[in-house]
Amino acid sequence: MRAGRLAALAAGLAALACGPERRPGRVLLVGLDGASPRLVEPLLAQGRLPNLARIAREGAWGPLESQLPLSSPRIWNTIATGKTPEKHGIRSFVRREGDHLELLLSSDRRAHALWNIASDAGLRVGVVNFWNTYPPERIDGVMVSDHLLPAEVAGRRTVAKAGAPPSGPLVYPEAWQARVAAALGPGAPLVDAPDPFAHAGAFPAWALRGEPGAATGAGALAQRLREDAALARIALEIEAGIHPDLLMLLLPGIDRVSHAIWAGVEPPERYPPYLRATPAEHAALAAALEAYYVYTDALVGALVARFGPEDLVLVVSDHGFEAGVRLGFLTGTHQGEAAAQGVLFARGHGIAPGRRAGAVGVADVAPTVLAWLGLPLAEDMDGHVAGFLEAPAPARVPSYDVRPVERLPLGESGVEAEIVERLRELGYLDAHAGRP
């Protein structure tokens, strides 16, 4: 056993030392949490998602098959590692420790993610808000933890403020803390898109329920706009600052908003009487959700504008949405087969324009990125290179998980309670919370 592990280590290090065999450009990977083909397809047909439509024309697009249960951390970690939850170790949001819940952290992930592999290969990397990136990991580049925005919502602004309450670091390296804090501050709108919630007064009352740490009513929904814009602004700051070979960003807004107002997509009779919208209310909910997709498309456009036509651009979602009632007022959920498809858009060197993506699963994203970069695939990955990518057969290594991931010191970020409460308010933490 020891000899086998040493051989795997030697093979992995040798492959990384050689560097990428073919690197035609850079990679942008944008995650849109919860983006559903049920809305993406008609909005594309109506010409309302011009930036995603351009990626589709220049490359490939189609559904991305997810894996039940549709829990965001388990799926996004599969996307990042190319491995099933049983291998990467992130099966849920939390685990139970006695009578309380503990968030799963980056230290609970047992597999190397794309950012670790690329960084070890000598590529510069930027990572913003991917699940389970607290504490941040030491990479050749910049990592902004998924605990950053809850710190802002809680009013702590702990990124780089003197005299802030003690907390663990949210950004690596330390030199980037001030730049991230500045990107979180007020500024000119990042994109020119209508406010999806300008007419929230027409919503039914149950759609205006507040959330912990945010303004009530339409203000809670509008907070999603500000958060997505802040994350995109941080990603653009990293792009301008280090020009990374791999930039990864996860935007959570579509998922959060869909939980609240998905009833605008479904026939009213799918819901109990107290959640049935009037025709006017139904139209207002549908218009707002569609407008949020349009807004997100504009953010994608701002990011893609920094990348050339030969660079690889991937936009993916972890799952879709379906009708369902949680906590008595949330009308969108993702629990079954009806929500088991996300979306995938890809363009760049080696991708023929204007084609359907074909059969692609969430575990195939990481191997596809590695193959495009000319990096070896690991034999212990569960995914494969997507069929839409025309590239030489990649080399193989037994595993990338042969040396420990270096992380910043483990300590409380100071916002764990806020994150748990947010998850509870979205209906994620039920009687099964923490179970594998």
Considering only residues 102 and 329, tell me which one the structure prediction assigns the higher pLDDT: 329
| In the chain, where the domains are located | 2-425
Assign 211 a pLDDT band (cuts: 50, 70, 90): very low
Average predicted confidence (pLDDT) for the chain:
87
> Rounded to whole angstroms, how far apart are CA atoms 236 and 230?
10
Total number of residues shown for the chain? 436
Strands of 150-295, DSSP E: 171-172, 246-251
- Terminal alpha carbon distance of the chain: 28
pLDDT at residue 411 is higher than 60: yes
Query: Would you give the distance in Å from CA 346 to the centre of its chain?
Result: 16
2-425 belongs to which homologous superfamily? Answer: Alkaline Phosphatase, subunit A (3.40.720.10)
pLDDT for 429: 64
Write the burial class of residue 15 (CB in 10 Å: 0-12 exposed, 13-18 middle, 19+ buried). buried
Q: Do the beta carbons of residue 112 and residue 128 sit within 8 Å?
A: no
pLDDT, tens digit (0-9, with 9 covering 90-100), for 37-54 = 999 999 999 999 999 999
Own/partner pairs for 96-101, CB < 8 Å, 24+ apart? 96/433, 96/434, 101/420, 101/429, 101/433, 101/434
| Among 151, 312, 178, residue whose Cα is nearest residue 241 | 178
The whole-number average pLDDT for the span 308-324 is 98
pLDDT for 412: 58
Task: Spell out a b/e string for 390-410, using b for 16 or more CB atoms within 10 Å of the CB, else e.
Answer: ebeebeebbbbbbeebebbee
